[in-house]
Amino acid sequence: MSYETALRDEVHQRLDRIGQAGIMVGIPSYNNAGTIGHVVQQAAQGMVEHFPDLKPVLMNSDGGSPDGTMDVVRNTEALAGVEVVAGQYQGLPGKGSAFRAIFEAAEMLGVKACVVVDSDLRSVTPDWIRRLAGPIVHEGYDYVTPFYSRHKYDGTITNNIAYPMTRALYGVDVRQPIGGDFGFSGKLAKAYAGKDVWETNVARFGIDIWMTTTAINEGFRMAQTYLGAKIHDAKDPAAHLGPMFRQVVGSLFMLMTTYAERWQRVEEVQQAPILGEKLVAEPEPVNVTLSALIDKFKAGFEENADLWQQAMNDANFDAVAELAGLSQDAYGFPVDLWARVVFDFAVAYNHGIEGLTPDEMLDSMTGLYYGRTAGFVKTTWDMTTAQAEEVVNAQAKAFMRLKPYLVGRWNERP
Ligand SMILES: Nc1nc2c(ncn2[C@@H]2O[C@H](COP(=O)(O)OP(=O)(O)OP(=O)(O)O)[C@@H](O)[C@H]2O)c(=O)[nH]1
Ligand SMILES: [Mg+2]
């Protein structure tokens, strides 16, 4: 069933009664009763303290949490002057649908700026709201992405795919394209709300990459903003990231068809300006299990070798097959090979492989992502976060350097 709107009647009526607002913070949630109270307090305080001239609204867009998340929001104190809306969205279950309701609400209220922050954040402060909304309210930007200090093993989908692909495809260096905490203008919220993507992975964890890619390609002014450390309920990449990988990468690949004319012409990279005073912060360590990652890669090879062979060119497949035979000591996953593998799958996803659904392709690619993550972990094991950052940067450059390979394969349709 498809929905015309993500706003349920009761939420719509509540927004109608509020009428108009100047600034809004939207918080998506699903079972975050333990952490959302803090986020609500900080966000509300941030609006009141830093934007006293704008009428503030805080909206929690929940996925029907059985743990009482919305009650926590409604009962949180210290919100003098802030209108609080806690409601369930309708549509496909997922973070993207929750955001769709927030976009629609921002449009209805005619806000100048909207900020979204995750409900599992522990490092959010009122100052985050200033840093995310300030460039929109005062400097005419439409889209602001977070620039965090993250631990080297937090954000492995970002570092190994979302960041290098966004930079190489669209020529914009935006370090956290799927960071989850963003600021955007009312104008951009309206543009997002008007799109027809809510039956796709964009309704789930594809939302972040879609927001960033859309903002870049539809000419919205964008910037990054220093936020310090992102401390949240981070996940071990070996244990929890499979579905998120499919949804993010599926959306990223899908968008390559939408914007094919544009990315094929891009040869230069420009950094989106990083605004604000730098925040120095020590991120919390994220644990990874190297042996588990390598095992998952090898299991993926056992299970999907045929499919990998169909998706990849022969030389790439042979190189990957060789890696699957290595011991942990000898293991490594070269950056150039990884870039070509991602490009092979991007082409296979968009042009199709007979007898395979796009989701099956992404499922099988997860094993390769574990393989590259293991390679990254091995290379950076003894490195500081700053040194690991250089590895991420070099990898992004490799994607750009090898882009002609992608363009060539993209255009050799059967
Ligand atoms: N409404 C709603 N919100 C969701 C859903 N899934 C996730 N969210 C929210 O989206 C935000 C991000 O989700 P997380 O699970 O923290 O994911 P993440 O931090 O991007 O991912 P990691 O970096 O892997 O930890 C949180 O505020 C979640 O509560 C959902 O199905 N419905
Ligand atoms: Mg999180």
Distance 317 CA to ligand 2 centre (A): 34
Q: What is the pLDDT of residue 285?
A: 87
Mean of all residue pLDDT scores within the chain: 95
**pLDDT above 90 for 51:** yes
**What is the rounded average pLDDT of the residues 109-138?**
97
pLDDT (tens digit per residue) in 364-377? 999 999 999 999 99
Residue 235 Cβ inside 6 Å of ligand 1? The answer reads yes
**What is the rounded average pLDDT of the residues 378-385?**
94
Residue 57 falls in which region: left (phi positive, over 0), alpha (psi -120 to 50) or beta: beta
Question: What sign for the dihedral angle of Cα 337, 343, 344, 345?
Answer: positive
Alpha-carbon span 241 to 220, nearest angstrom? 30
Q: What is the pLDDT of residue 110?
A: 98
Residue 174 pLDDT level (bands cut at 50, 70, 90): very high
* Fold exhibited by the domain 9-275: Spore Coat Polysaccharide Biosynthesis Protein SpsA; Chain A (3.90.550)
Whose alpha carbon is nearest atom 9 of ligand 1?
29
Query: How large a percentage of the chain has pLDDT more than 90?
Result: 89
Q: What is the pLDDT of residue 235?
A: 66
Residue 151, SS3?
coil
Which ranges in the chain are annotated with CATH 3.90.550.10?
9-275
Residue 150 Cβ inside 6 Å of ligand 1? The answer reads no
Distance 405 CA to ligand 2 centre (A): 35
Whose alpha carbon is nearest atom 28 of ligand 1?
29
Q: What is the pLDDT of residue 213?
A: 98
Residue 258 pLDDT level (bands cut at 50, 70, 90): very high
Distance 38 CA to ligand 2 centre (A): 14
Task: Quickly count: other Cβ atoms within 10 Å of residue 404's Cβ.
Answer: 10
Task: Quickly count: other Cβ atoms within 10 Å of residue 194's Cβ.
Answer: 10
Contact 151, 385 (CB under 8 A): yes
Query: 177: closest CA among 216, 221, 202, 208?
Result: 208
Alpha-carbon span 156 to 373, nearest angstrom? 7
**Ligand number, closest to the Cα atom of 36:** 1
Query: 298: closest CA among 226, 367, 248?
Result: 367
Query: 173: closest CA among 2, 397, 355?
Result: 397
Task: Quickly count: other Cβ atoms within 10 Å of residue 42's Cβ.
Answer: 21
Q: Nearest 5°: phi and psi at 313?
A: -75, 160
Distance 116 CA to ligand 1 centre (A): 12
Residue 234 pLDDT level (bands cut at 50, 70, 90): low
Residue 232 Cβ inside 6 Å of ligand 1? The answer reads yes
Alpha-carbon span 341 to 344, nearest angstrom? 5
